[in-house]
Amino acid sequence: MGQFVTEINANGVIAVDDTIQVKGYETRAGSRILEGFKPLFSAETVERLEGAGYAVAGKSAVGEFGLDLLGEFAHGGPCLDASGALRGAAAELVAAGQVRGALNVDLNGAPRRAAALSGVDFLKPTYGTVSRYGVIPCACSGEQVGVTAKTAGAVRELLRVIAGHDPKDGTSLPAETYDYGNGKDVPGMRVGLVRELTDAASDDMKARVTAYAERMRGLGVTVEEVSLPLAEAARTAWNLLLCAETCNNVSRYDGVKFGYRSPDYRNIDELYVNSRTEGLNFLTKAVILYGSDALSKGRYVTCYDKALRVRRLVWEQVKGLFKDFDALLCPACSRTEYRPYAIADAFKTVFEESLFTAIPNLTGVPAMASGGVQCFADTLRESSLLNLAEAMEGSGAK
């Protein structure tokens, strides 16, 4: 038996975010509404990792449906470091060396933020390169499974296992493998430092990004300031789409077939209303209300449809920059530390912080948090991100 366990663990153990299903493991997506829910199947990414000899160590905590900053409003409570600062659970597990890596869903930047704060790497791959089959769905048009690990090399290793066509996901791209780089070819690369996003960050975060850019230059990378005027519009558009799609996706939780059911009801309407009232937190309810409004009659054209049009414009603007640059550098969040705060402020706080993370979710381009900052690259150019991060890690960035 011991021999057997050693064998499956040959490649190490992996943490899987609670928004990603593992067959038979309770999967709650950080919410009370999914209490007791044991999925009938594992996510494709989990299947692939297990098939390649990795073992699931357990589920890492996330905020309800992954909607908050770092998991601070998870039903099970927040993850705090020794000083009482907010941290992401999976990123902390990776930083502490308890797992080789983690699978996370990047819905509104949470795992990128978490990695930047814990000093580990997280890569959100290009939309469609990694299967979303088995992800508790929120905003299907932009959420993506990515990998947290200690080094760019470890991210690459895990990404190679999980990426590739999955016929069970209708948005899965046809390729079986992708280029994840070789850790070389960094000298001569061109990186754009996004002015709007750097300017919006706190002074210590600004200093961190500037220092990172300086070290990049030391590796022979050209770093130039660039402008992304649609950054704010991208944030609004992504949050609008996210609310609308999430509202639609979470409406299936009704306390009837699985998950939490309020003990207090006299008829079917009360069963629905009370189960949802007690099962969902304030942030999710805010998302549902905004989303429902954006899709309602008369608002569709001025809200949802407009957001889709903004998505196209942002994509064009970003694509334009990638004609001249291999990657765009910016903060992953506004500050270097976050403290617990009241849930009444959650929607506003997440909205504000998503300024730094929304563009890759909105446009599908890859993004990577590394060295406490983040970079975006063009569609399917994860190789640029991984090469840069690997070179920077080698240069003593950590």
Partner 1 sequence: MRYEAVIGLETHVELATNSKIFCSCGGHSTKGEPNTRVCPACAGMPGMLPVTNRRVVELAMRAGILLHCDISRYTTFDKKSYYYPDLPCAYQITQWFHPVCRNGSVEVTTKDGTRTIGIKQIHMEEDAGKLVHDDWTETTLVDFNRTSVPLIEIVSKPDFRTADEVMAYLEKLKTMFRFANISECEEGAMRCDVNISIRPEGTEELGVRTEIKNMSSLSSIRRAIQYETARHLDAVERGTETLVQETRRWDDVKGRTFSMRNKETAADYRYFPDPNLMPILIGEDWIRRVRDTMPASIEEKTAEYQSKGLSEKEIASLTSERALCDLFDAVTAAGRDPKEAASWILTECGGILRKHGQVMGELRVAPEKLSRIMEKVSGNEINRAAGRKVLEAVLYEDADPDAYCKAHNLSAQGDADAVRQVVLKVLDATPNAVKDYLGGKKKAFQALFGGCMKELKGNGDPQVIRTLLEEELSKRS
Q: How far lies 384's CA from each of 20, 106, 152, 182, 221, in Å?
A: 27, 20, 11, 10, 12
Q: Which is nearer to partner 1, 45 or 198 (CB)?
A: 45
Q: Is 168 in the site for partner 1 (CB under 8 A)?
A: yes
Relative to beta strand 373-377, strand 101-106 is: unpaired
Could you give the CA distance from residue 363 to residue 376 in angstroms, rounded to a whole number? 11
Out of 21, 284, 334, 363, the only residue in the binding site for partner 1 (CB under 8 A) is 21
Q: Which is nearer to partner 1, 141 or 210 (CB)?
A: 141
The minimum distance between CB 15 and partner 1, in angstroms, equals: 18
Relative to beta strand 327-330, strand 190-194 is: parallel
Site residues for partner 1, 307-326, by CB under 8 A, read 308
Q: Which two tokens stand for residue 92?
A: 């902390």
Contact yes or no for 194/228 (Cβ under 8 A): yes
The minimum distance between CB 371 and partner 1, in angstroms, equals: 32
Site residues for partner 1, 275-294, by CB under 8 A, read 292
Q: Is 304 in the site for partner 1 (CB under 8 A)?
A: yes
In the DSSP assignment, the letter for residue 128 is T
Q: Is 136 in the site for partner 1 (CB under 8 A)?
A: yes
Q: Which is nearer to partner 1, 115 or 243 (CB)?
A: 243
Q: Is 257 in the site for partner 1 (CB under 8 A)?
A: yes
Q: Is 265 in the site for partner 1 (CB under 8 A)?
A: no
Relative to beta strand 222-226, strand 144-149 is: unpaired
Could you give the CA distance from residue 197 to residue 199 in angstroms, rounded to a whole number? 5
Q: Which is nearer to partner 1, 35 or 254 (CB)?
A: 254
Starting at the edge strand that comes first in sequence, how are the strands of the sheet with 367-370 ordered? Answer: 55-60, 13-17, 101-106, 144-149, 121-124, 367-370, 373-377, 327-330, 190-194, 222-226
Query: How many residues interact with partner 1 (rule CB under 8 A)?
Result: 40
Could you give the CA distance from residue 63 to residue 136 in angstroms, rounded to a whole number? 13
Q: Is 47 in the site for partner 1 (CB under 8 A)?
A: no
The minimum distance between CB 235 and partner 1, in angstroms, equals: 19
The minimum distance between CB 141 and partner 1, in angstroms, equals: 3
Contact yes or no for 288/250 (Cβ under 8 A): yes
Instruction: Please tell me whether residue 172 adopts helix, strand or coil conformation.
Output: coil
Q: Which is nearer to partner 1, 255 or 366 (CB)?
A: 255
Q: Which two tokens stand for residue 275?
A: 């189960």
The minimum distance between CB 391 and partner 1, in angstroms, equals: 35
Chain contacts with partner 1 (rule: CB under 8 A): 21, 29, 34, 39-41, 43, 132-137, 139-141, 167-171, 244-245, 248-249, 251-252, 254, 256-258, 268, 272, 292, 295-297, 300, 304, 308
